[in-house]
Amino acid sequence: MKFGKRLKRQIEETLPEWRDKFLDYKELKKLIRLISSASPSQMAEAEFIYLLNAEINKFNAFFMEQEEDFIIRQKELQERIQSVVATLGPTSIRPLDADYREEMRKIRKDIVNFHGEMVLLENYSNINYTGLVKILKKYDKRTGALLRLPFIKTVLQQPFFTTDLVSKLVKECERTMELVFPITEEGERREEEKERTTVVAEQSIFRNTVAALVTMKEMRRGSSTYSPLSLPPLNLPDSDLFQLHSPVPIV
Amino acid sequence: MEARPALSIRRSDPKQLSNLGASGAMSSSMPILPISLQEKYPKMPDSQQVSIERELRTVSMAQHVNPSVSNSAVVGHLFSSASGFSSDLHFSSASTLERHAKHTPFISQSSNSGASLPLTHSSHTGLFQSVTSSSFAKENSEWCSDTLQGILDLPDNVPLQNSQMQSGGGVASEDCARQSDWQEWVDPLINDDDNLATDWSDLLVDANVADLEPKNTYQASQQLSNFSLHQSQQKIPAHSGEVCPVASPLSSGSSAPTKPRMRWTPELHECFVEAVTQLGGSERATPKGVLKLMKVEGLTIYHVKSHLQKYRTARYRPDSSEGTSERKTTPLEDMSSLDLKTGIEITEALRLQMEVQKRLHEQLEIQRNLQLRIEEQGRYLQMMFEQQCKSGGMDKPKAPSTPDDPSAQSSELIQSPSKAKASEKDKAETENDATHVKRIEESSQQLGCKQKKPETETSDNLKPTTEGGSLSPSAKRARTHDADASSAKSTSN
């Protein structure tokens, strides 16, 4: 399947507020087509670059907005956990077991969703980057120019691609998760897990995540332009988990 | 406040300048510079414009001395793109189109080696002439942006550091240093108009030294973007916690220019929260008060305002801030509170969701690293091809045998695409992607020794292809022909 189609599918599956924030791959391809290699059509080329820059600005703005939200939410989550443990937890003055458990459940859910959103933002960043690389490759091919390398060099430094902070937040989230989740044994739980997932799982985020993984795998499977400088095929153990994705019956 | 001391410490460390620290770096302003300059330059006093134009001309001429093909290609290409911007912004005129016509032949020919240089020169002089004849403000904005872009593109030798820095994550400190330097540069620029011209020529001349030290280039390009961005009353983008407004003139061009984007960090947020609590909580605190208390340079009231708004929303309804999907599952929560077993099931489901998310995160990290390395390789190959063209091609055998790891990898990657592909296919299926590139390197190195001989052949091979179209794609195509054949076979399986 072509990248454009995959991107479109991914966008369809994504969180609704994000839909128009992705790369307008189709439009850029159209512009490239307008660039005829015979006559130097400066307008189309200029438009292309203009749109490219506009897209990058869009990514940056959206990404930083989300990042800011994540920072705030992370802090809030930490404080919430602390207060719940302090007031209702076993070590507090008046431990209220039921309430405590209730609150902890809520917190767990929030943490997982928070984690999910952050990872999806990373995915957003990555997929747009991939799209940019591809579209620039097409452009170079079409015009014979060497726009790709220098352009990508600047892209690599854009805020939307420098996801270190989000990555850090994700890892912190994972650590917090371990503290907050009760310890249970693996094994028999697995079967039940899979069933329950379809019933209880957070709809858009989980679904999105699975879709993202599947997309990533498919995109890297190999194509006619596969070269030593392409990404290798994606190998995911336990990939049967992601088969849930196609008709996930969500409550 | 913590911010202050941190800033002053970094100020004194010049070493950090040499790292073209990745995230949110100033060159992030690169693609968006032209528009900002277009917007802002017409407002500049004429005297400045004149001096700038003069400086730019001398610099652009000087740039032609640089024999690097990619540079002139980039610069030339960006010329046309910049002109395109102006036409997009209703500045269309006949002369613009004329210049476009002159540009494009340049672009398509610039991808050829050597022979393009005289052509470059003539087309440039042609352009220069048309500059004087056309409207003043427009020219200046274009030229400035062109040269800026050209210069910002020059530091090719730095990128290796780039990606390392990115993964190293030691960004904040570098950005602080950069920022403080910007501050130092900004102030004289504001105060003394005469300095502008001289600063320009200094900066641009610095940038024109071939095989620049990363430091020089970096400072030059920093200061350049600083200059241009300062004109638009915006600061340079940086990733650090201290002052991180990011210029996005394209978007701000349409709306008010006083909305620079801020890149928040947890530390900055901490500072913010402290200020807010001091002022009596999120409801009571005012943006002005918070701004004053925070005492962070470069932070504007708009930043604080919007951040405060977000903060209030997050505090007020912590559940709803998690996203719209939250609301759908509230009925489930009631269920779970009643039924303990369901509660456990939900926890397990969450655990599973978490696992999947973790997996995606891992894969994204790996993919990102691979992408970075691929870009590195690509740039390195590009450099090598250029060097080869310059040196006439017969020196090639030396290059791969240099002790540099990346050079060995990349040359061997080219030499043995089919073998690498085969090992890729076999091993990638069964192994973690993180070790993928390593494997390729290993197998390539094993084969590399046997392939010294074919290298001389390939260098001959490269020469004729360079005349044709663009360098790397066609050369790569020749290389990967075998790879494609084998991949076609494997994908059809």
For residue A148, the model assigns a pLDDT of: 87
For residue B391, give Cα distances in angstroms to B387, B395, B397, B452. Answer: 6, 7, 12, 19
Across the strands, what pairs with B257?
none
Task: Judge: B470–A145 Cβ closer than 8 Å, yes or no.
Answer: yes
The predicted model gives B315-324 an average pLDDT of 57
Task: Judge: A231–B374 Cβ closer than 8 Å, yes or no.
Answer: yes
Q: How confident is the model at residue B370 (pLDDT cuts 50, 70, 90)?
A: very high
Closest chain A CA to residue B444: A228
Q: How confident is the model at residue A193 (pLDDT cuts 50, 70, 90)?
A: low
For residue A76, the model assigns a pLDDT of: 92
**pLDDT(B220) > 50:** no
Does residue A214 belong to the interface with chain B, where contact is any CB pair within 8 Å? no
* C-alpha distance from A65 to closest chain B C-alpha (Å): 8
Three-state secondary-structure class, residue B470: coil
Q: Hey, what amino acid is at A32?
A: I
Q: How confident is the model at residue B378 (pLDDT cuts 50, 70, 90)?
A: confident
For residue B54, the model assigns a pLDDT of: 53
Residues 6+ apart with CB under 8 A from B340: none
For residue A56, the model assigns a pLDDT of: 93
Asked if A214 and B406 count as a contact pair (C-beta separation under 8 A), the reply is: no
The predicted model gives B230-237 an average pLDDT of 40
What CA–CA distance (Å, rounded) separates B336 from B325? 18
Q: What is the four-CA torsion angle of B409, B414, B418, B420, rounded to 10 degrees? A: 10
- Mean pLDDT, rounded, of chain A: 80
CA dihedral for A83, A89, A94, A95, sign (positive or negative)? positive
Q: How confident is the model at residue B369 (pLDDT cuts 50, 70, 90)?
A: very high
For residue A164, which residues of chain B lie inside 8 Å, CB to CB? 23, 166, 169, 171, 239
Q: How confident is the model at residue A89 (pLDDT cuts 50, 70, 90)?
A: confident
pLDDT single digits (tens) A119-172: 999 999 999 999 999 999 988 888 888 888 889 988 998 999 999 999 999 999
Of A101, A196, A226, the CB nearest to B487: A226
Asked if B386 and B70 count as a contact pair (C-beta separation under 8 A), the reply is: yes
Of B237, B250, B356, the CB nearest to A210: B356
Which helix (H) or strand (E) element contains residue A35?
Answer: none
Top mean pLDDT of B105-119, B235-249, B260-274 is at B260-274
The predicted model gives B362-386 an average pLDDT of 90
For residue B469, the model assigns a pLDDT of: 40
**pLDDT(A73) > 90:** yes
Closest chain B CA to residue A214: B360
Q: Hey, what amino acid is at A165?
A: L
For residue B167, the model assigns a pLDDT of: 40
Q: What is the four-CA torsion angle of A101, A102, A108, A110, rounded to 10 degrees? A: -160
The predicted model gives B164-176 an average pLDDT of 41
pLDDT single digits (tens) B393-434: 555 554 444 444 444 444 444 444 444 444 444 444 444 444
Asked if B191 and B21 count as a contact pair (C-beta separation under 8 A), the reply is: no
Q: Take residue B42 and report the two structure tokens written for it.
A: 């017409």
For residue B410, the model assigns a pLDDT of: 44
For residue A199, which residues of chain B lie inside 8 Å, CB to CB? 349
Top mean pLDDT of A212-216, B53-57, B117-121, B334-338 is at A212-216
**Radius of gyration (C-alpha) of chain A in whole angstroms:** 22
**pLDDT(B38) > 80:** no
Which residues 114-153 in chain A show a CB within 8 A of chain B? 114-117, 119, 122-123, 126, 129-130, 133, 140-141, 143-147, 149-153
The predicted model gives B446-453 an average pLDDT of 44
Does B7 or B357 have the greater pLDDT score? B357
Residues 6+ apart with CB under 8 A from A94: A87, A88
For residue A240, the model assigns a pLDDT of: 52
**pLDDT(B294) > 80:** yes
Does residue A213 belong to the interface with chain B, where contact is any CB pair within 8 Å? yes
Q: How confident is the model at residue A189 (pLDDT cuts 50, 70, 90)?
A: low
Does A172 or B178 have the greater pLDDT score? A172
Does B1 or A102 have the greater pLDDT score? A102
For residue A34, give Cα distances in angstroms to A30, A139, B31, B267, B469. Answer: 6, 11, 22, 47, 20
Does B52 or B289 have the greater pLDDT score? B289
For residue A136, the model assigns a pLDDT of: 92
pLDDT single digits (tens) A38-60: 566 677 788 888 999 999 999 99
Q: How confident is the model at residue A222 (pLDDT cuts 50, 70, 90)?
A: low
pLDDT single digits (tens) B463-474: 444 444 444 444
Q: Hey, what amino acid is at B177?
A: A
Instruction: Name the residue among B237, B328, B359, B306 with its Cα closest to residue A200.
Output: B328
What CA–CA distance (Å, rounded) separates A51 from A246? 34
**Which ipTM score applies to this complex?**
0.84
**Count of A-B CB contacts under 8 Å:** 383
Across the strands, what pairs with B246?
B261
Does A13 or A222 have the greater pLDDT score? A13
Which residues 4-43 in chain A show a CB within 8 A of chain B? 15-17, 40-43
Does residue A212 belong to the interface with chain B, where contact is any CB pair within 8 Å? yes
Task: Pick the range with the lowest mean pLDDT from A94-103, A145-154, B41-50, B361-370.
Answer: B41-50
**pLDDT(A3) > 90:** no
**pLDDT(B128) > 70:** no
Tally Cβ neighbours within 10 Å of residue A112.
Answer: 27
For residue B319, the model assigns a pLDDT of: 53
Q: How confident is the model at residue A85 (pLDDT cuts 50, 70, 90)?
A: confident
**pLDDT(A62) > 60:** yes
For residue A121, the model assigns a pLDDT of: 93
For residue A167, which residues of chain B lie inside 8 Å, CB to CB? 361, 365
Across the strands, what pairs with B262?
B245
- Mean pLDDT, rounded, of chain B: 54
pLDDT single digits (tens) B326-358: 444 444 445 545 566 777 788 888 888 899 999
* C-alpha distance from B192 to closest chain A C-alpha (Å): 31
Share of chain A above pLDDT 70, in %: 79
Residues in chain A: 251
For residue A216, the model assigns a pLDDT of: 80
Asked if B396 and B455 count as a contact pair (C-beta separation under 8 A), the reply is: yes
pLDDT single digits (tens) B188-207: 544 444 444 444 444 444 44
For residue B431, which residues of chain A lie inside 8 Å, CB to CB? 235
Q: How confident is the model at residue B493 (pLDDT cuts 50, 70, 90)?
A: very low
Closest chain B CA to residue A153: B159
Does B53 or B283 have the greater pLDDT score? B283
**pLDDT(B271) > 70:** yes
